[in-house]
Amino acid sequence: MKTWRRHTLSGYSWLMLVFLYLPIAILMLYSFNDSRINAVWSGFTWKWYISLFENRQVIQALTNSLTIGIISSVLATVLGTAASLAIKQYSLRWRTIVNGLVYLPIVIPEIMMGLAMLVLFSQIHMELGKATLIMAHVTFSMPYVMVIISARLAEMGGELEEAAQDLGATPWGTLRHVTLPLIMPGIVAGFLMSFTLSLDDFIISFFVAGPNSTTLPLYIYGLVKRGVSPEVNALSTLLIVCTVLLVIIAELFRRKDSKTITF
């Protein structure tokens, strides 16, 4: 009786995994399908990938995505780390308030954030383009960096820093030689996470991108709207592979000598 219950549950869970992955797998599989319109399998081909790399717009979108991703995640990581270190010094009451503020962008509907940014940029007469995209991406990924790093800081406690200061280290020295190395896995994970978020973001970018700053997801949207072409499958597959690799690497860094699962 106990075993059948366990089997049902595990069977169900495997089914859920299939449900989560099957559509993605099918999408990836069909990026190698020779047929243009039909779902019928008509042979393996690389041609959609080849035509992608010959497409100037795709290369442009890719370059935009990478530039924006790198710049915004460096900024988000630096600002996020600094902010987490600062928050740690605050009194409990301030910390609660600031932490609430940090979680807000994570829980608010993305569309609202996109709109709000669009309105802000238009009110200060800032032309939509790479700069606005970078600012927006920093804003939505910084909270994630802060959550990861604050968790790491809390887990670490303050004893090592106190010890360093007792031994005569300057505050700057403590930060450089003690705190930063200790939270390094968190910093790297935060960086990779913001890079993933930036590379992947569609909704917010949709509102703040200018005509010459199309990113990969925006380009994919254009293709999806124009009708189904196997090139979309190929491009989506590339995006999926990049995302999955980045997430796994980020996870490995985050779990490095951290024993707790913080999801």
In total, the chain counts a number of residues equal to: 263
Choose one: 51-59, 99-107, 167-175, 176-184; the region binding other proteins (CB under 8 A).
99-107
Nearer to other proteins, 169 or 247 (CB): 247
154 interacts with other proteins by CB under 8 A: no
At its nearest, how many Å lie between other proteins and the CB of residue 105?
A: 6
Query: Could you tell me the two tokens for 219?
Result: 């380009």
Nearer to other proteins, 164 or 219 (CB): 219
92 interacts with other proteins by CB under 8 A: no
Q: Which of 7, 18, 26, 163 binds other proteins (CB under 8 A)?
A: 26
Gap between the Cα atoms of 108 and 123, Å rounded: 22
At its nearest, how many Å lie between other proteins and the CB of residue 184?
A: 21
Q: How many CB atoms lie within 10 A of CB 67?
A: 15
C-alpha gyration radius of the chain: 22
Q: Which of 59, 126, 163, 244 binds other proteins (CB under 8 A)?
A: 244
In the DSSP assignment, the letter for residue 44 is B
Which alpha helices (DSSP H) does 167-202 contain, by range?
Answer: 171-174, 180-200
At its nearest, how many Å lie between other proteins and the CB of residue 131?
A: 12
**Among residues 171, 257, 200, 235, which one has the least CA distance to residue 30?**
235
Q: Which of 9, 50, 126, 184 binds other proteins (CB under 8 A)?
A: 9
Nearer to other proteins, 7 or 176 (CB): 7
Gap between the Cα atoms of 78 and 169, Å rounded: 23
Nearer to other proteins, 17 or 167 (CB): 17
Contact 233, 31 (CB under 8 A): yes
155 interacts with other proteins by CB under 8 A: no
49 interacts with other proteins by CB under 8 A: no
Gap between the Cα atoms of 185 and 198, Å rounded: 20
